[in-house]
Amino acid sequence: ILKNKKSYDIQGDPMIENKERKFLHDISSPVGTAIFVLDIVLDTLKSHTNPPEELIQIQQLSGIFERIKTLIEERRREITQETLEK
């Protein structure tokens, strides 16, 4: 692969792309699980007459995990697009 290229493009290396795909796949499951569990906790806390003060912090945490999920999805789309363009 490297012999035919004058400059080394990391995005063109199938081995690196496969490692990144695997990483994205591996991290997606725990992030999805965290979002699921946080949603259950939030629903439970919201149903209380006097929700605890920690509710706001848990909502913030849920937002953080949603952002991570979005970043993972965006990167997956980028990799797929890059692959299709080759």
Rg (CA), the chain: 19
7 φψ region: left (φ > 0), alpha (ψ -120 to 50), beta (else): beta
CA distances from 37 to 18, 21, 56 (A): 29, 25, 16
Angle at which helices 54-85 and 14-46 cross, to 10°:
150
User: Along the 86 residues of the chain, how does pLDDT read in single tens digits?
Assistant: 444 444 334 455 677 778 888 999 999 999 999 999 999 999 998 888 887 888 899 999 999 999 999 999 999 999 888 878 87
